[in-house]
Amino acid sequence: MINLYSIFLYKIKNNPIFMNIVVEGTVGCGKTTLGKFLSEFTNFKLYEELTSDDTSVLLDKFYTDQTRWSFALQIHFLNERFRMIKEINKLSEGILDRSIYGDKIFAEMLHEDDKMTKEEFNTYKTLLDNMLEHIKPPHLMIYLKCSTETAVQRIAARNRGIETSVPMKYWLRLNDKYESWYNEYNQSEKMSLNVNDFNIYDDIQRKEFLNKILYKLDSLRTPEHQKRKKFVQELSKNIKSF
């Protein structure tokens, strides 16, 4: 099944289409899960945030002493996303399961909670602004809208250690900030998908979501629009067998 897509994508490698897709949303909304299906469907590489050995070490240190390690951890995440974006630009395509733009929410919350000093937060913001001057925004940002209650249920189900002990008030606050952030986001085209009752392993629901995403991609008007339109049309033909 996937070989059909691989053959098609191989044919267009000599006429590349720059397509950078970002999947965003609060912790537990299903970014990585949807990203994996999008990656399988489009044959674009998925860049996940929790794949570095340094990330695991810093997260452990952070949860032991958040004030000591918050700045180092946020700079690490910022650097990792910048590296991934540069690689996507070189490859002309890719999917990120969290954006460099939304990452600022976590730094902001740490500063509000006095776990990151004013000087550290200002340094983070300045570095982020400098990085943004050297990267292209995504073609599409897909925001997964999810209630805090649903997100917490999914967090508990995946059982990633320390995550399960985070108090509910933190997740409520984080989701509120994400909602405000999405409403104000204007760096690229965006779309919101309600995933409260979404089961990605259900064939009908998955195809419905993929169709919505393909329709949005097809509507984009950029210099590469005609190339992308042809690409999306070919994917649409194969969606029934996915």
**Three state DSSP letters for the chain:** CHHHHHHHHHHCCCCCCCEEEEEECCCCCCHHHHHHHHHHHHCCCEECCCCCHHHHHHHHHHHHCHHHHHHHHHHHHHHHHHHHHHHHHHHCEEEECCCCCCCHHHHHHHHHCCCCCHHHHHHHHHHHHHHHCCCCCCCEEEEEECCHHHHHHHHHHHCCHHHHHCCHHHHHHHHHHHHHHHHHCCCCEEEEEECCCCCCCCHHHHHHHHHHHHHHHHHCCCCCHHHHHHHHHHHHHHHHHC
Kindly list the catalytic residues. Answer: 97
